[in-house]
Amino acid sequence: MNSQPASDNHQDEGIPSLSREQCHAARLARDARFDGRFFTGVLSTSIYCRPVCPARPPHEHNVRYFQSAAAAEQHGLRPCLRCRPELAPAARGDLPAELARLLARIDRGELADGTLAELAAEAGISERTLRRQFEQHLGASPKQVEQTRRLLLAKRLLTETALPITDIAFAAGFASIRRFNDAWLNAYGLTPRTLRQQQEAHDDAPDHMHSDPRGATLTLQLPYRPPYDVAAMLAFYRLRAIPGLERVEGEVYERRYRVDDQVALVRIAQGKGHSLQLTVHDLPLAVLPDLLYRVRRMWDLDADMQRIGELLGQDPLLARLQARWPGVRLPGGWDEYEVMLRAIVGQQVSVKGAITLLGRLVARTEAQFGMAQLPTPAQLCELDLDGIGMPGSRIRTLRGVAQALASGELTLTTASDEQLLALPGIGPWTVSYWRLRCALDPDAFPASDLVLQKALGGGVKLPVKEVLAQSAAWQPWRSYAASWLWHAMSEAPNLLPPSTGNEKQPDNQQQEITP
């Protein structure tokens, strides 16, 4: 096992935005707003906890604060069985934007299959610089971050499911059961089976054991920091559910997730406490990290609404919206490709019209290729779109994007604005809206969006230049401001500024969209 930290060592890991006093106050208050932003290492027990841990708070002289679970484990600490650090929401708001994106890719499991050099090259920085940033902002090496990710995912599966340990090892990203057992024993000083037995003996454990031991059904809790408006998210997805692919029934979101020739059924509902409940049927376990990444991003589970609200709340208009709907988040999309299709199909049509067209794409893909899904880029290049209800210019845009992706000329995860804008039919609104819904940029702001123009113009279309000027103070969280304004226009437009009647109407109609 790793060497234990000295009990008289009070040096912390340099948590970027929090002082030791703030961490101390947050853990004593069990303040959920700080969950995931730091971890408390208890030196006398060699255990680390979330700030919301229900256990009796340790004395401050026995405590050391870490900015990541990996940093705590690198110093020989074990995760608490009560508060379960593996459930803490990610806290990437404290990190440089590029590092946050790379960390999300590691959480997705990309470092398990690739190398750090490849990730660094794709980010346009050197491997040495990347390692230095990890040490500076996370207090751990990339290797330790990846190892901790695997171990904590395995711990979740050991705790919340009845999956066999061999299946858990491969689902977490270990190449063999021997490597899993060695890593587990080295980090935690006990076998995986022993930990499962300890957790089962814990009072709360039986409530978590909901999985089919054969792996057909898997149920996991996905925590978030409050406030979180689950009803608003469900309403958003209910209106935009693509027929044949997804639906919202009552308070449950459901969609099909195709992995090669296998189709999994994914369900999302309100979970216990501050969490959503994810239930998956027939999922190949190897793609579990990718699924968790998709769901957390789509449902915006890792947003730090306290930090976002502090800045946006300085604007009187946004402060009113925040007070009315404190838990409204930024609904995302399933993946970059699906969001691009939604953005293109939704150009200058209503939400209902766009969803009807997307449903037709699913139906035609099933009829032509035998798969009830949105067409892949290669399928879209061949798909019969005659009479589907879209103008020829939009069909050409769809095929142009599909051809660029199928040929390898374009990769959406790394595409620049310039590359996207060079494609026929792709304009600034499409790029901004796409980045916003993919959670690729929390400051993406489609200023030419008709709904936003009317929201800020009191029901009258405000010129783009004035929209940009008004939104400048909302950086770097303009995507959240857009989400709040869209929600207000849908639910209570009376909270928005009234029209003065003096707004100038531009001659050229800006692009109408389906937010």
Catalytic residues: 49, 449
- Whether the Cβ atoms of residue 434 and residue 343 lie closer than 8 Å to each other: yes
Instruction: Give one word for 370, left, alpha or beta, with left for phi > 0 and alpha for psi -120 to 50.
Output: left
Cα torsion 275, 106, 477, 437 to 10°: value is -80
- The dihedral sign for the CA sequence 100, 105, 108, 112: negative
Give the neighbor-by-neighbor strand order of the sheet with 39-42. Answer: 63-66, 39-42, 47-49, 78-79
Q: Which long-range contacts (CB under 8 A, 24 or more apart) does 166-173 make?
A: 167/215, 167/285, 168/192, 170/285, 170/286, 171/285, 171/286, 171/288, 172/289, 173/109, 173/112, 173/149, 173/289
Sign of the alpha-carbon torsion through 412, 415, 417, 420: negative
Written as six digits, the tokens of 459 are 């029901």
Among residues 478, 191, 138, the alpha carbon closest in space to that of 315 is found at 478
- Distance of alpha carbon 66 from its chain centroid, rounded? 23
Which run of H or E residues covers position 317?
helix 316-324
Rg (alpha carbons) of the chain, rounded to whole number: 24
- Of 168, 161, 202, residue with least CA distance to 183: 168
- Of residues 463, 467, 466, 464, the one with CA closest to residue 481: 467
- Do residues 133 and 66 make contact, with C-beta atoms less than 8 angstroms apart? no
Enter the tokens of residue 12: 């912390």
Question: From its phi and psi, is residue 77 left (phi > 0), alpha (psi between -120 and 50) or beta?
Answer: beta
